[in-house]
Structure 1
């Protein structure tokens, strides 16, 4: 268990970092403030400064802890293999960087606290609105201080709405998924920000999201937030999602019944 004080202390740090490093740069970035660290993968001065500040401040909240951040892993990929060792803060300093760099929403700051590879607490802050989603393993999910429990309704397959992010899928995998989308009610536009995708499954008009790439800073925070509200987050085959274990493909659903329906529509073997 993490405790109320830790939940509040991390939230305060996220708000401070957003105010210091992110919000002043929104829609004020110069050309030299944006770089492409990999084809189609942007990083800005806000990402780097946010991660620097989080790396300096978070370990002081938990003795013996350390930070594994997205930008540190971009510079030193071997760090990714250490997220299962000890007590680790997994940090996405600006989730939705492409949106942020283009001067549009949504974007978020996300943190997950892992102990021996298991997520025990999570935070997602949307700097513009100030909305804060938090979860603690075994203690539930809250948005802006109000406990959230997922809707238990299970729509018919042709009424299911969700995001299907095929961008990183191999062509044969993405093609097979695309051919099955006609069985759904609607495929909603992706936010290109996991920090918006996960909460929207609980609060918005989408019931599920299907991902291929599952880097821990993108998914560990949201996965706990959905799961602690009563949703289901697994690998495509139904096996548990663990941020410290390599794997591809995630199916995120508002509740177990929606997971079953989405899995049957998109992923189950066909006769």
Structure 2
């Protein structure tokens, strides 16, 4: 199934996402909520992905970002035993709508609350990350495991500051100088996870934790030996709608960043 889903993501990217990139008209972009953009490409891509995924696994359910925007009750499937496909047709829609990178296509398969498989595709580079439970993480078929031998002062990572409450933002700003490089984030969770897996950065701190934004990347990271936890140290669960998630290339880095950027917890 890894190959079939990967092929589906690449087909949707080639047929829908890339042809419209940089060519969206004014009527092709709208707000589904204040400050939250959606494009015709998001909606078309999700429909095609959903049709293909349901064919691959009859009896499953698709919980996609655009579907939930129209029908929030779809999220209830995350608390049931039916296999669920979490789908983000274009992660980084604001970037995509503006005609800039990065953006990604992301899918995760969840069964009875357990992540079984995951995919993240970068449509521009055609780089595909995949993982199956217990079988590791692969970049275009080659096993990946991030290199993590770095002191705190050489760590590089991102903090998504857009939604941070003021007190949290102040805490991050106060501690950031004790790490190597703290970036504001690329507005694309798929790229943040990919950059940790390839060693371009070693951590990322998110405030909002919508399941389609994080279930795919968390599984890829865990299968590669990384760590993804809530700020109180509890494991990430796609059905948990609390705020705050810190992901890192390994256990030591997770604790270092947690103690440096969020010292008051």
1:105 aligns to 2:131 (yes or no):
no
Task: Give the stretch that moved more between structures: 211-220 or 82-91.
Answer: 82-91
1:165 to 160, 164, 182: 160
Q: Which residue of 1 aligns with 2:85?
A: 89
Distance in 2 between residues matched to 1:19 and 1:168, nearest whole Å: 32
Deviation at 1:170, TM superposition (A): 1.8
Deviation at 1:189, TM superposition (A): 4.2
Distance in 1 between residues matched to 2:162 and 2:229, nearest whole Å: 19
2:41 to 46, 59, 62: 46
Task: Give the stretch that moved more between structures: 13-22 or 94-103.
Answer: 13-22
1:144 to 129, 133, 140: 140
1:216 to 211, 215, 221: 211
2:116 to 93, 117, 120: 120
| SS state at 1:139 partner | coil
Distance in 2 between residues matched to 1:189 and 1:237, nearest whole Å: 22
Q: Which residue of 2 aligns with 1:195?
A: 190
Q: Which residue of 2 aligns with 1:59?
A: 54
Question: Do the aligned residues in 1 keep the contact of 2:88 with 2:213 (CA within 8 Å)?
Answer: yes
Deviation at 1:204, TM superposition (A): 3.5
Question: Do the aligned residues in 2 keep the contact of 1:188 with 1:206 (CA within 8 Å)?
Answer: no
Size of the aligned set, in residue pairs, is 264
Deviation at 1:138, TM superposition (A): 0.7
Deviation at 1:161, TM superposition (A): 1.3
**Following superposition of structure 1 onto structure 2, how do residues 2-41 of structure 1 map, counting pairs within 5 Å?**
6-41=1-36
| SS state at 1:81 partner | helix
Distance in 1 between residues matched to 2:127 and 2:139, nearest whole Å: 7
Distance in 2 between residues matched to 1:185 and 1:211, nearest whole Å: 18
| SS state at 2:218 partner | helix
1:255 aligns to 2:250 (yes or no):
yes
| SS state at 1:37 partner | strand
**Which segments of 5 or more consecutive residues in structure 2 lack a partner in the other structure?**
none
Deviation at 1:228, TM superposition (A): 0.5
**Which segments of 5 or more consecutive residues in structure 1 lack a partner in the other structure?**
1-5
Give 4+ residue runs of structure 1 displaced > 6 Å after superposition. Answer: none
2:63 to 68, 71, 74: 68
Question: Which string of whole-angstrom CA distances, capped at 9 and with x for unpartnered residues, describes residues 114-156 of structure 1?
Answer: 0012211100011111000001111100001101122241x22
Distance in 2 between residues matched to 1:82 and 1:75, nearest whole Å: 15
Question: Do the aligned residues in 1 keep the contact of 2:168 with 2:262 (CA within 8 Å)?
Answer: no
Q: Which residue of 2 aligns with 1:246?
A: 241
| SS state at 1:63 partner | coil
TM-align CA RMSD: 1.3
| SS state at 2:79 partner | coil
Task: Give the stretch that moved more between structures: 161-170 or 122-131.
Answer: 161-170
